[in-house]
Amino acid sequence: MKNSIIIARHEIQSMFRERTFILLLAVFVAMTLASAYIGWSSQHTINQVYTAAAEQLRQSGKVAPSSPFADYPHLALLKNMIIYVILIGGLLAISTGYAAGMRERKAGVLKLLFSRPISKEDFLLGKLLGISLVLAAVILLAAAISAISSAFLVSLNAQDVIHLFSFYGFSWVYLLGFAFLGFSFALVKDDEVVALLIPIIFWIMITFVLPELTSALYPTGSLNPTLPQTDILQNPALQTMHDTVYPFSISEHYKESAATILGMKATGTAAPVQSGILNAFKIFCWMLLGLAASFAAVYSFDKSRW
Amino acid sequence: MSNSLVIARKEFKDILHSGIFLTVLLLLLALTATSVIVSSFVFKSQVDSYQSSLHILKELGKQPGGPQPELFPLNLLRGVIDYLEIVGAILGILLGSLTIAREKNTQTLKLILTRPVSRKDLLFGKMLGNAVFIGIVLVFVGSFALLSLVFVAGAALTLTEAAKLLLVLAISWIYIMAFFSLAAFLFLSMRSLSNALIVAFTIWMVFVLILPQIGDTMDPDNQVPGGFFNSIYFNKEQEKQVLAKFSSYETARNFIEELSVTKNYERTVFALLGIKPEFNGMQVPDILGQKLFDILVVMLFFAAGILADYSVLNKKDILVWD
C-alpha cells in the first residue's frame, strides 16, 4: 500500500509537469469558463427571439404558444459543459491514462522499478489512484470555475450548487472509464501511436457512431447539448437498431443523466428514455469495464519486456 | 524530381505496410456504410410519415399541405461528410505524424540528406506519397458510398450528381492534406513525438469540434428538439424576418464558425451535396461561385501548412534530431 501511494504521488507530480496535459487542461478550463457565458448569452438572446416571434404571431392575429424556455432551470446555462466533458474531457482523460501507462515504458525504467520490492498490484493501484486523483483535481477545478462564473450570471441557491457538484462528480466517473482505457492500451500495445489511436477510436465510436445508430443523429449533431427529437424512430428498422445498440451508447446515457442532474428535461424526447438511475448505473459499469481492462493489461504485461 | 518520386514510392509502401492503413480504411468504410444505411432509413421513415398524414387528411376530406419528401441521393451522404470532417482530419494527422516520426525514430534524416537529395525533394516526396494514399482512401470511400447509395437506398446518380461527388472528394482531399501538413509541421518542430501528437489532437479538437459546436449551440433553432421555429409553427420566411432583428448576434455566431476550417469545408461540400435545399437545383459553377470564400479558406489552410513544413525543414538545426 505504501508503494502504491508513492507511485500515485509520483504520477500526480509528473502529470502536472507534462506540457501536453497542461495544454489540454488549459483548453478544458478555458471552455469551462466560456461555457457559462455562452449558455447565458445564447439563452438571453433566444428569449428575445421568442418574444419577437410571439409578437409577430400576435400581430397576425394568432395565439403564441408558451415559451419553450419559460421554465429553464438556472443550471441550464451550463448545458454546453455536458458536451465539453464528452469532447475535451474525454480526450484529456485518454491522454492522462495513456501518459500514465507510457511514462515508465518510455523512460526505460520499468525493469528498474520492478527490481525493487514492488508488486504488479502496487504498481496498478498506484497508477489507478494517481489517474483518479489527477482527474478529480481537474473536475474540482472545473466545478469551482462553473460555480463562480454561474453565480455571476444567475442567482444560485444551495440546491443548485449541490446539483452542479453532483454533475461534475458524475462526469468524473464517466471520464475515469476513458482514462483507464488509455492506460490499458498504453501498457499492452508496442507501437506508441497505435496505443493512443485505439482508445481514440473507442472514443469516436462512443461519442459519434453509437448515437447515430440509436437516434439517427448525424455525427456532428451529437455535439448539440439539446437532446434529439426521436419521432423518427417510429420506423421499425430504426427502432430495432435503437433497441439493440442503445444499452451500449454510453455517451447518450451520460448526456441524459447529466441533463437530469442539471435539472433539464431529459425526458423531453419521444425516445424510450430509461430511468436516470439505470443510466447512471451504466456509467458506473463503463468505469468498471475500464478498471477491468486496466487489471487485465497489468496482469498480462511482461514486466521484463520493456 | 526523380528523388521525390523515389521518396514518395517509399512513403507509400511504408503506409501500406503499417497497421494504420487497414484500420483507418476499414473504419471509414464501415462509417460510410452506416451513415448511408441510417440516412436511407430516416428518409423512408419521412416518406411513411408523409403517406400516413396524407391518408388521414384524405379521410378527413382535406388536401395535403406540403409536398411529398423527395429523394436527393447526395443528401444521404451527410453523415459520411461528418465522418470525413472528424476521422478524415485524424487520418491526416496520423499520416503527417508518422511520416516524420519514422525518420526521427530510425534517425535516417541525416543519412538521406548526405545523399544528393534536397530538402525540397524530401518534402515534396513525402507529401506526394501521402497525397496519393489519401486520394486512394477517398476513392475507396467515394466508391463505397456510391455502391451503398445504389444497393441500400436504391438511388442512382445522374452525371451532374457524380461530378458533384467527385468535387466533394477533391475538396475533402485538400482538407485532409491540410491536417497532414499541420501534423508534419508539429512533428518537425517538437522534440517529443507523443507531445506533438497530443498538440495536434488538441488543435484538431478546437478546429473540428469546439468552434463548430459553439456556433451550432448559439443557433436559436437548435435550442429545442426538432427546432425552435418548428415548435412555434414558423416557416422559413417568418424565421428570417425574426432573425433579421438579431443580425449582430448572427454575425458573431457566423464569425465563430468561420474561424474553423472544418466549417468552411462543411459549408462547401454541404452546398455541393444539396444538403441545404436552396442548392439542390443549382449548377456546379454557381455553387462554387457562392462558396468561393469557404473553398479559398480550406486551400489557404493547406498552403500555410506546406509553407510552414518547408520553412521548418529548411532550418539548419533540424539535423539536431539525431
- Specify the pLDDT at position A117: 80
Structural domain tally of chain A? Answer: 1
Neighbour count for residue B111 (Cβ, 10 Å): 12
Q: Which residue type occupies A65?
A: P
Greater model confidence, B69 or A98 = A98
Average pLDDT, chain B: 83
- Give the distance from residue B45's alpha carbon to the nearest chain A alpha carbon, in angstroms: 5
Interface test with A, best of B202, B221, B238 (most A CBs within 10 A): B202
ipTM of the complex: 0.77
Cβ atoms of residues B25 and B142 within 8 Å: no
- Specify the pLDDT at position A230: 56
Of A19, A27, A45, the CB nearest to B249: A45
Q: Tell whether A258 is covered by a domain.
A: yes
Q: Tell whether A249 is covered by a domain.
A: yes
Q: Tell whether A41 is covered by a domain.
A: yes
- Specify the pLDDT at position A292: 94
- Asked if the model's pLDDT at residue B129 lies above 90, the reply is yes
Average of per-residue pLDDT across B42-53: 72
Which residue ranges make up each domain of chain B? 2-321
Q: Do A45 and B233 touch (CB under 8 A)?
A: no
Instruction: Find cell 433553432 and name the residue.
Output: B221
- Specify the pLDDT at position B316: 59
Interface of B with A in 24-43 (CB under 8 A): 27, 31, 34-35, 38, 41-42
Span A82-113, pLDDT tens digits: 999 998 899 899 999 999 988 888 777 777 77
Average of per-residue pLDDT across A115-126: 84
Q: Which residues of A touch B28 (CB under 8 A)?
A: none
Q: Do A45 and B87 touch (CB under 8 A)?
A: no
- Specify the pLDDT at position B31: 82
Rg (CA), chain A: 22
Phi, psi of A108 (to 5 degrees): 70, 30
Cβ atoms of residues A297 and A183 within 8 Å: yes
Q: Which residues of A touch B51 (CB under 8 A)?
A: none
Q: Tell whether A133 is covered by a domain.
A: yes
Strand ranges for chain A from DSSP E: none
User: At B282, is the secondary structure helix, strand, or coil?
Assistant: coil
Average of per-residue pLDDT across A226-253: 76
- Asked if the model's pLDDT at residue B25 lies above 70, the reply is yes
Confidence at A270, pLDDT banded by 50, 70, 90: very low
Cβ atoms of residues A78 and A167 within 8 Å: yes
Confidence at B66, pLDDT banded by 50, 70, 90: low
State the residue range of the domain holding A163.
Answer: 2-300
Q: Do B223 and A226 touch (CB under 8 A)?
A: yes
Long-range contacts of A168-173 (CB under 8 A, 24+ apart): A168/A139, A168/A140, A168/A142, A168/A143, A169/A139, A170/A254, A170/A257, A170/A258, A170/A261, A170/A280, A170/A283, A171/A85, A171/A89, A171/A139, A171/A254, A171/A258, A172/A135, A172/A136, A172/A139, A173/A283, A173/A284, A173/A287
Q: Tell whether A305 is covered by a domain.
A: no
B299, three cell numbers: 486551400
Q: Tell whether A306 is covered by a domain.
A: no
